[in-house]
Structure 1
């Protein structure tokens, strides 16, 4: 697999009559919103866009992240969905998050000539990655 930095705004639909315009957001379900929300809001620094009982929408970019409280237990297959977060300095963000107790399962490493990735887990065991295009 060859990874290349995507160019913003150049995504084209591959079907002539597609009604899909792009991604609106990602929802991560949890059995303990009071545990997961501080991780995404306070540690990762995503601002709260909307909050209601059992649901929170966080943002800071073009795609919103929703936390929903309709499941029980930790993720049984944390690699089924992986959330990738763009950062300017993968090593610095790795050090900052590690210092806050975030569990990294893979230190920053070069995955392609122009890409560094570090992989970590949220409190529910979901997999996230830091992406730095260099």
Structure 2
């Protein structure tokens, strides 16, 4: 068994695609129209055959409640690994990304949390 796809709930797929590709640097993998939405996935440029991230529209009312509760509580929906948290923080700040604090060492890892413009907090982690 392996993880093929994981998802983040987004309030606007077009906005999410732009942020996740142009700001975070992910690569578009699949874009298939499905009625008013799309099956839209991105992947890491370093692992294009690896796990896909589904930019999932929030068509299910409880998902909106869940997303808002996490955001309001300051809890990240997911985490992405980076090689250099400080460098990514500085790069993303220049692109206008909103962070919830500076990179913080926590034992053997360094973390920083940012807003993805689609209603989520995302944590980046340097191990």
TM-score range, shorter chain: 0.7 to 0.9
- Pick the aligned partner of 1:63 from 39, 51, 57: 51
Q: Number of residues paired by the alignment?
A: 112
CA root-mean-square deviation: 2.0
In structure 2, runs of 5+ residues without a counterpart are none
Contact 1:109 1:118 in 2 (8 A): yes
Q: Deviations over 1:57-94 (max 9, x none)?
A: 10013321011224376931235662211111100100
TM-score between the two structures when normalised by the length of structure 2 = 0.77
TM-score between the two structures when normalised by the length of structure 1 = 0.74
Runs of 4+ in 1 over 6 A off after TM superposition: none
Work out which of the two has the higher radius of gyration on C-alpha atoms and give 1 or 2.
1
In structure 1, runs of 5+ residues without a counterpart are 1-20
Which structure has more relative contact order (CA 8 Å, sep 6+)? It is 2
**Is the helix fraction higher in 1 or 2?**
2
- Pick the aligned partner of 2:120 from 89, 101, 126: 126
